[in-house]
Amino acid sequence: MRILSWIFRGLGSVVKRESVKRTCRMSRVSICFIQETKLEVITKDDVRKFWRDVNCEFKFVAAVGRSGGLLIMWDKNEFILSKVWSVDSLLAIEGKWVKEDVDVVLINVYAPNSVLEQSSFWG
């Protein structure tokens, strides 16, 4: 299994989207976490453009204005989703790694930068 986690600072431009596409395809990752998408909506068509084939699933948390936004994409032959939890800065998925036959919880977090907000978030 290959996992990629990336703070991207916006997926709005064609250049950045192509970078995600190229990296996911060349690396042949099983799962990809992206933080700070800065997107309020992510469609299945968007994700299919990033992934190497149509055999993918995804979950996302929308950005609030021009900040935040989380995306998890995965190969559905390698990971089977059973549960999802999400809040503004956290997206967690529970499921099974198929080949290893292991149950896992995977968490994509984009924590606030200020110490006061971090204290509240992690508390």
CATH number at residue 65: 3.60.10.10
Hey, which bits of 8-77 come out as E strands?
31-35, 56-61, 70-75
Query: For residue 96, what are its two tokens?
Result: 């099974």
> Structurally, how many domains does the chain consist of?
1
Provide the pLDDT for residue 93.
97
Please identify which residue in the block is written with the tokens 């991207």: 8
pLDDT above 70 for 117: no
Q: Which domain holds residue 50?
A: 3-122
Task: Dump pLDDT digits (tens) for 19-34.
Answer: 888 888 888 889 999 9
Task: Dump pLDDT digits (tens) for 9-65.
Answer: 788 778 888 888 888 888 888 999 999 988 889 999 888 888 877 889 999 999 887
What pTM was estimated for this model as a whole?
A: 0.86
Provide the pLDDT for residue 78.
93
In angstroms, the Cα distances linking 114 to 32, 88, 122 are 26, 16, 12
